[in-house]
Amino acid sequence: MSGHGPAIPMTARKSGPLSGVAEVPGDKSISHRALILGALSVGETRITGLLEGQDVLDTASAMRAFGAEVIQHGPGDWTVQGVGVGGFAEPDRVIDCGNSGTGVRLIMGAMATTAITASFTGDASLVKRPMGRVTDPLALFGAQAVGRDGGRLPMTVVGAANPVPVRYRVPMPSAQVKSAVLLAGLNAPGQTVVIEGEPTRDHTERMLRGFGAELTVEDTDEGRVITLTGQPELTGQDVAVPRDPSSAAFPVCAALMVQDSNIFVPGISQNPTRNGIFLTLQEMGADLVLENPREEGGEPVADLRVRFGALKGINVPPERAASMIDEYPILAALAATAEGVTVMTGIKELRVKESDRIDAMARGLEACGVRVDETEDSLTVYGMAQVPGGATVASHLDHRIAMAFLCLGMVSAKPITVDDASPIATSFPVFEGLMTGLGANIIRANR
Ligand SMILES: O=C(O)C1=C[C@@H](OP(=O)(O)O)[C@@H](O)[C@H](O)C1
Ligand SMILES: C=C(OP(=O)(O)O)C(=O)O
């Protein structure tokens, strides 16, 4: 929803120790895809563990607008009656994707090779984000897009009536762009080929196969080559959504920062295209143990046992960036409490997220008394024994910035206030209750 309600300022104070079980909600990326692929299938898709964050609810409502029947039966328990590949109806209203880059970009891909027209918009954050990275490859299929300011929302996409298949090399590491092209390729005849220079999250590929598409993935000198055979009949599936590693990163990092903490975080996806944060934390010296590795819902998962302990700053290798792209805000907060310097390079994609995350973290950390250096493509954080805090930090309509500073406020000398924590509801609606349940001292500032 683009209608953004009143700001919710929130303050975090010295907390802990954190202890107990952190049951984080379902994976956001997989939740969006389960709804979209369910809508593009024939028959019923039953989804359990769906993330009921606003980003995903907006995708559910978009799928209804394209003609699918989407019903909630209970918490996390949803069904989708799909319309089949090429069966999307023309929506009779503007598709409002709220705060969600994943939602709008994947849905544009999913409708771009059907002869319908759809208009898209979003909130004050989403309308600033680049859409040309998706509409450029969609134009190769024959779709046309007209947007504001050379490729921003609001935007209207006219789907291709006679789509042709495409061979496309994704110019930046982006699972959203890759996925938009693959979803568009579903309704094009012949083979659509997507090549990515560095691997990004592969949920679309895994799930397309699970829904019955013919798709191959080859690692070559050119990169990862994904070939999809168009116009398959997708069949509704049962999807069990694993818990979100990107959400898990917040209680995990908070427990690593807050003295004497010891928490258990069950059932977290360890998909190798998503687990970079856990490798990084272990390199920093974290007492983070992966227990009971297993497969759930087609994804590798493990339980995490996390205990407080002193961490050291490291150089995070740029080639790891794609596998932890959403975790840099919380890593930057954690780095402020580690011994020594943490250097994060190869992260310029952070500049086009819900906010410019390099800038938002750098300014917020400085306001809290932490020294940082930034370049277009990197952020360096100088750790200190005691972060001063005592600042009000802007979240810029960015859930991950809000959560990162609330975690830092649990260990700073003086409290940290986030000017607006309402965007947390887009990805982690139970954050406040979950964290306070573990022992976090966070409270809505206006209560
Ligand atoms: O495909 C996805 O589900 C996502 C891909 C990433 O974005 P980019 O494709 O822009 O890197 C990530 O930051 C986002 O939270 C979710
Ligand atoms: C970047 C993110 O999401 P999106 O691009 O879907 O808005 C995120 O959740 O950190």
Q: How far apart are CA 63 and CA 82, in angstroms?
A: 9
Q: What b/e sequence results for 167-185 when a residue is b if at least 16 CB atoms lie within 10 Å of its CB, and e otherwise? A: ebebeebbbbbbbbbbbbb
Of 58, 78, 10, residue with least CA distance to 431: 10
Residue 27: CB within 6 Å of ligand 2? no
Q: What is the pLDDT of residue 5?
A: 82
CA of 260 to the centre of ligand 2 (A): 32
Nearest ligand atom owner, CA of 106: 1
The domain segmentation of the chain, as residue ranges, is 10-26+242-444, 28-190
209 assigned binding-site residue: no
User: Does the ipTM exceed 0.95?
Assistant: yes
Task: Establish whether residue 400 lines the binding site of ligand 2, counting it when its CB lies within 6 angstroms of any ligand atom.
Answer: yes
Q: Which phi and psi (to 5°) does residue 324 adopt?
A: -150, 30
The ligand with the least distance to the CA atom of 207 is 1
Answer whether 31 contacts ligand 1 (Cβ < 6 A): no
Task: Let me know if 7 is exposed, middle or buried by CB neighbors in 10 A (0-12, 13-18, 19+).
Answer: middle
- The single residue of 326, 359, 398, 420 carrying the catalytic annotation is 326
- pLDDT value at residue 306: 98
- For residues 325 and 104, what is the distance between their CA atoms, to the nearest angstrom? 19
178 is in an annotated binding site: no
How many Cβ atoms from other residues are within 10 Å of residue 34's Cβ?
A: 33
Q: What is the pLDDT, as a whole number, of residue 18?
A: 98
Report strand pairing: 416-418 vs 392-393. Answer: parallel
Q: Give the model's pLDDT for residue 296.
A: 86
pTM, two decimal places: 0.98
Do 62 and 95 contact (CB within 8 A), yes or no? yes
Minimal-distance CA residue to ligand 2 atom 1: 353
Q: Is 357 annotated as a binding residue?
A: yes
Ligand nearest to the CA of 202: 1
With contact defined as beta carbons under 8 Å apart, do 282 and 39 qualify?
no
Instruction: Report whether 41 belongs to an annotated binding site.
Output: no
Q: Is 400 annotated as a binding residue?
A: yes
The single residue listed with the structure tokens 């995350």 is 357
One DSSP character per residue, 149-182 reads TTTEEEEEEE--SS----EEEESS--HHHHHHHH
Structural domain 28-190, CATH architecture: Alpha-beta prism (3.65)
The CA 323 to ligand 1 mean position distance, Å, reads 10
In short, whether 325's Cβ falls inside 6 Å of ligand 1 is yes
- Fold match between 10-26+242-444 and 28-190? yes
* Cβ–ligand 1 contact at 427 (below 6 Å): no
Q: Is the CB of 102 under 6 A from ligand 2?
A: yes
Q: Which option is the CATH number for 10-26+242-444: 3.40.630.10, 3.40.50.10740, 3.65.10.10, 3.30.750.24?
A: 3.65.10.10
Q: Which residues of the chain have pLDDT under 50?
A: none
Is 419 tagged catalytic?
no
Measured from the Cβ of residue 376, the count of other Cβ atoms closer than 10 Å reads 8
Which residue's CA is the nearest one to ligand 2's atom 10?
326
CA–CA separation, 134 and 153 (whole Å) = 12
Structure confidence at residue 446 (pLDDT): 61
Q: How far is the CA of 413 from the centre of ligand 1 (A)?
A: 34
